[in-house]
């Protein structure tokens, strides 16, 4: 009987420890590491944001805070280790604004690959990136393809939310502004932050600067890197003052559900790394037969 009680006590303590295991990389201890790797299925979440102006009413770290908070909510129910704050992305179009942190393109490519290498070196076989910045997708997609430049012992996944007709219906009912003009620090982003960090939002300041398209560059079928500044010199595109908590909750709940599903898929995945290694083997053996 005494032996049974001891066994039960050990099991209960182990279960309690598993529940209390921190999710943030920087909050884990070194002795937690093996348990964190096992519980996460060797999966690390890498939230990527930016430091840039978000109108006159939102914080510079809006995008970083956004994905950090979404990740934090998801891993409470679907365990994974979350990498600390990462804000080294593409943001050259906002260098004229105070508080912008912009690094050279070559450096951000090298830094992200080196970061993933270090995450992999610490035992993670799967890295899932969740991006919060609208200026990052092209950079991140190129980064992903560039990972095939050499063998890596880990797989990287870039979360790309799909369309959801039911969500779009609810979203259309709640929003107050034209979605085609709601591009940066407008109703959607500000509503999201009202749900995540209302203490950082000052909706009443949303009208202090114009978020309208200034249409200063009348070109068609041509791309120039100055296009964003030409249209939105205030680095603000939309009407942040129209934001609501109700819309923000709808967006956040939808994002949490979508990323939870993606994280579960990554944790269960056994094929990506296998196929990746098969690819590298064929590259290494090319021309040897």
Q: What is the DSSP track for 165-221?
A: HHHHHHHHHH--S-GGG--BSSHHHHHHHHHH-GGG--GGGTTSS--S-------SS
Distance CA 192, CA 200 (A): 12
Distance CA 24, CA 80 (A): 9
| pTM as predicted | 0.91
Q: Quick one: pLDDT at residue 287?
A: 81
- The helix/strand/coil state of 79 is coil
pLDDT tens for each residue of the chain, 289 residues long: 545 444 444 444 444 444 599 999 999 999 999 999 999 999 999 999 999 999 999 999 999 999 999 999 999 999 999 999 999 999 999 999 999 999 999 999 999 999 999 999 999 999 999 999 999 999 999 999 999 999 999 999 999 999 999 999 999 999 999 999 999 999 999 999 999 999 999 999 999 999 999 999 999 999 999 999 999 999 999 999 999 999 999 999 999 999 999 999 999 999 999 999 999 999 999 988 6
Q: Say what angle helices 165-174 and 245-268 make with each other, to 10 degrees.
A: 160
Q: How many helices (H) and strands (E) does the chain have?
A: 10, 4
DSSP-derived secondary structure for 31-66: GGHHHHHHHTTSEEEEEE-----BTBTB-TTHHHHH
Answer yes or no: are the C-beta atoms of 87 and 50 closer than 8 Å.
Answer: yes
Distance CA 211, CA 242 (A): 12
φ, ψ (nearest 5 deg) of residue 276? -60, -45
Residue 92: how many other CB atoms lie within 10 Å? 13
Identify the DSSP state of 24. Answer: B
CATH H superfamily, domain 22-266? Creatininase (3.40.50.10310)
Q: Quick one: pLDDT at residue 16?
A: 46
Q: Quick one: pLDDT at residue 248?
A: 98
Q: If 0-12 CB within 10 Å is exposed, 13-18 middle and 19+ buried, where does residue 7 land?
A: exposed
């Amino acid at each position: 009987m005494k032996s049974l009680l001891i066994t039960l006590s050990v099991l209960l303590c182990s279960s309690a420890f598993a529940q209390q295991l921190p999710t943030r990389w920087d909050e884990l201890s070194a002795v937690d590491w093996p348990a964190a790797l096992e519980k996460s299925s060797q999966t690390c979440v890498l939230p990527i944001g930016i430091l840039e102006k978000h109108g006159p009413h939102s914080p510079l770290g809006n995008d970083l805070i956004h994905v950090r908070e979404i990740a934090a909510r998801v891993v409470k129910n679907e365990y994974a280790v979350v990498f600390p704050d990462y804000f080294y992305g593409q943001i050259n179009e906002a260098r004229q604004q105070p508080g912008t942190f912009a690094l050279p393109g070559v450096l951000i490519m090298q830094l992200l690959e080196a970061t993933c290498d270090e995450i992999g070196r610490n035992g993670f076989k799967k890295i899932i990136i969740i991006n919060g910045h609208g200026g990052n997708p092209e950079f991140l997609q190129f980064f992903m393809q560039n990972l095939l430049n050499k063998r890596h012992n880990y797989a990287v996944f870039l979360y790309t939310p799909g369309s959801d007709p039911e969500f779009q219906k609810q979203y259309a009912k709640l929003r107050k502004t034209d979605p085609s003009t709601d591009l940066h620090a407008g109703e959607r982003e500000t509503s999201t932050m009202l749900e995540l960090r209302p203490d950082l939002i000052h909706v009443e300041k949303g009208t202090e600067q114009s978020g309208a398209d200034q249409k200063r560059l009348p070109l068609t079928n041509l791309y120039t890197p100055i296009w964003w500044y030409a249209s939105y010199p205030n680095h603000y595109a939309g009407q942040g003052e129209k934001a609501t908590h109700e819309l923000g909750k709808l967006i956040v709940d939808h994002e949490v559900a979508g990323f939870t599903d993606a994280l579960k898929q990554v944790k269960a995945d056994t094929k990506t790394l296998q196929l990746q290694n098969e690819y590298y083997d064929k590259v290494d053996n090319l021309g040897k037969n």
